[in-house]
Structure 1
Amino acid sequence: MSKVAVLGMGAMGSRMAAALLRADYQVTVWNRTADKTSPLVEAGAKAAQTPRAAVEEVDFAVCMVRDDAASHSVWLDSETGALASLPGRAVAIESSTLSVAWVQELAGHFQAAGKALLDAPVSGSRPQAEAAQLIYLVGGDTGRVAKAEPILKVMGGTVHHAGPLGSGAAVKLAINALLGVQVAVMGELIALLRRYGIDEARAVEMIGATSVCSPAARGAASAMAARNYAPLFPSALMEKDLGYLQEMAAEHGTRAPLAQAARSVFGEAMGQGYGEENMTGVVQLYWPGP
């Protein structure tokens, strides 16, 4: 069975590593704060002190971290970066939600080192990761995608090849922008109807019964009405992703004004102290308190 390193033991990476262990892969895990590796070690994984040590003998190296800066540190840190010790036969799978510009820059480093990289962000959150039903959006060489597909299907239910390196990141940012716009507008609409005197749960029921309401918007609105802000997808991460989309739009000479408006809402939520709560917490901008 293949040897796999999973770099980053956050909500997603830890569940991805658990899925690999259940499928009997030999798994090595690393996290910036080592205590988060303990549950995986108890389940049968090995823990490494650095990303560089984690990937020394692997066939695949999966990275799932917060942002561009964290990805840069994992792969390229001069003392602990994983790229330097990644075996030539291995395929690196960068599953973090990153900017397209950084993915393409990282691809250049891999090419210069003669090593293989896929950008493979996922659609889905903790429940989908728990159930190994993530949707993979993969950018990279067709042959490398085929080589990695069996391991991706251990962690996810569907694998889409989006195109060359950077394509996975571009599609993921578009998906998150669509989600962010819906969540932002649902927050203001539900709060507005409440101000008008309509019970928010009743408002969600009526809006959710129409064909214009997506399942994602319906779920977000239900969480808002229930005051459920448990962090499945924090506002700070949504603001980050919308910022990356803005950078992509600017690089290609176009605009994304609705995404920019949604980003400002999530930025305001961060400023009010709601950044690490779930993105549904933006509704608190309009009805603070219980």
Structure 2
Amino acid sequence: MTQIAFLGLGAMGIRMAQHLIDAGHAVTVWNRTESRAQPLLEQGAQWADTPAEAAQGAEFVIAMVRDDEASADVWLDEQTGAFKGMDEQAIAIESSTLSVDWIKTLAQHAHQRNVKFIEAPVSGSRPQAQHAELVYLVGGEASLFERAEPVLSLMGKKVNHTGGMGSGALAKLVTNTLMGIQVTTLGELVAMLKRQGEDPDKILEAVSTTPVWSKTAGIVRKSMVNEAYEPQFPVDLIEKDLGYCLQAANQVAPMTSAARTVFNEAQTQQLGEWNMTVVAKLYQ
């Protein structure tokens, strides 16, 4: 049995932590809103009032939060931050989707505190988290990756070591940018097919047999054609990730910028909490 702390029980985190409990590990959880933890507490997880308290005695401390600001608060707060409570041999694992600059800064803070640290963002949304089918993109020392891999494998189907610190964040931003551009493009094309009086589903079914089609396009097509926009990957999050990608590109990324503008418009129309495919409504 391994002692594991899990920080952040949003739509992804609560599903990921569940797998650690199911595997028989001793899991301590923290979240800004304690009520979110109740289903896990009923299954044997322990509650901690602060990230620092959760980290005490843990061999692995995993964070899954919204953005750079939340990450800084969880790890670095002088009174409650997880780094404050970690043992020397423990490994801090940051699984949030963050900017490259911040993940490197956070790694420097860890080094200054003699904390062992890796980044491990994931590709996948709620269904993949639910079924332990996430893909991990891990940056950091190979020796730490090897120690953490068995734990990460409980939550994902593939654990990739992408290289040094920052490479995981870059891999995740590349992944989400490719996805975001496909989503905005398919939204345009579905609307164009409707204006032409065609059945978008029939046309896209034919296109799906060609080499240009992707697995993501298939998921997006189904959502848009059926107008099923229940949150899986909300507009607000993909917009945030495209912003981080633009930072990494020094703003020299016109396609990324164009896609982000579409998601910005969705936010303006109060669609930020809906699934990213809701941008199809912008073209109707």
Identity of aligned residues (%): 49
Question: Is residue 31 from structure 1 mapped to residue 28 from structure 2 by the alignment?
Answer: no
Distance in structure 1 (CA, Å) of the matches to 2:46 and 2:126? 23
- Render the CA deviation track for 1:99-118: whole Å, top value 9, x for unaligned: 00000000010000001110
Q: How many residues align?
A: 284
Distance in structure 1 (CA, Å) of the matches to 2:271 and 2:207? 25
Tell me the equivalent position of 1:233: 233
Distance in structure 2 (CA, Å) of the matches to 1:39 and 1:173? 31
Distance in structure 2 (CA, Å) of the matches to 1:31 and 1:9? 6
Question: Is residue 118 from structure 1 mapped to residue 115 from structure 2 by the alignment?
Answer: no
Tell me the equivalent position of 1:275: 272
Deviation at 1:180, TM superposition (A): 0.5
**Code of the aligned partner of 2:270:** G
**Code of the aligned partner of 2:254:** P
Deviation at 1:128, TM superposition (A): 1.2
Distance in structure 2 (CA, Å) of the matches to 1:181 and 1:32? 32
After superposition, where does 1:49-64 map in structure 2 within 5 Å?
Answer: 49-64=49-64
Question: Is residue 285 from structure 1 mapped to residue 282 from structure 2 by the alignment?
Answer: yes
Tell me the equivalent position of 2:129: 129
Deviation at 1:281, TM superposition (A): 0.3
Distance in structure 2 (CA, Å) of the matches to 1:92 and 1:184? 35
Tell me the equivalent position of 2:259: 262
Distance in structure 1 (CA, Å) of the matches to 2:120 and 2:161? 9
Say what the alpha-carbon RMSD is for the aligned residues.
Answer: 1.0
After superposition, where does 1:239-258 map in structure 2 within 5 Å?
Answer: 239-250=239-250, 255-258=252-255
Tell me the equivalent position of 2:96: 96
Q: Secondary structure at the match of 2:249?
A: helix
Distance in structure 2 (CA, Å) of the matches to 1:153 and 1:101? 27
Distance in structure 2 (CA, Å) of the matches to 1:142 and 1:210? 39
Distance in structure 1 (CA, Å) of the matches to 2:187 and 2:257? 16
Deviation at 1:47, TM superposition (A): 1.0
**Code of the aligned partner of 1:62:** I
Choose 77-86 or 89-98, whichever is displaced more.
Answer: 77-86
Distance in structure 1 (CA, Å) of the matches to 2:240 and 2:146? 31
Tell me the equivalent position of 1:172: 172
Distance in structure 1 (CA, Å) of the matches to 2:132 and 2:262? 31
Question: Is residue 13 from structure 1 mapped to residue 13 from structure 2 by the alignment?
Answer: yes
Tell me the equivalent position of 1:203: 203
**Code of the aligned partner of 2:135:** I
Deviation at 1:256, TM superposition (A): 1.5
Contact 1:190/1:203 (<8 A) preserved: no
Choose 80-89 or 105-114, whichever is displaced more.
Answer: 80-89
Deviation at 1:183, TM superposition (A): 0.6
Distance in structure 2 (CA, Å) of the matches to 1:65 and 1:204? 36
- Render the CA deviation track for 1:210-266: whole Å, top value 9, x for unaligned: 22121101210111010011111011100100000000011xxx7221111111111
Deviation at 1:144, TM superposition (A): 0.5
Deviation at 1:124, TM superposition (A): 1.0
Deviation at 1:68, TM superposition (A): 0.5
Deviating above 4 A after TM superposition, structure 1's stretches of 4 or more consecutive aligned residues are none
**Code of the aligned partner of 1:272:** Q
Distance in structure 2 (CA, Å) of the matches to 1:49 and 1:191? 49
Distance in structure 2 (CA, Å) of the matches to 1:37 and 1:49? 11
Q: Secondary structure at the match of 2:172?
A: helix
Deviation at 1:167, TM superposition (A): 0.8
Deviation at 1:136, TM superposition (A): 0.6
Unaligned runs of 5+ in 1: none
Q: Secondary structure at the match of 1:40?
A: helix
Tell me the equivalent position of 1:162: 162
Q: Secondary structure at the match of 1:181?
A: helix
Deviation at 1:151, TM superposition (A): 0.4
Q: Secondary structure at the match of 1:53?
A: helix
Deviation at 1:207, TM superposition (A): 2.6
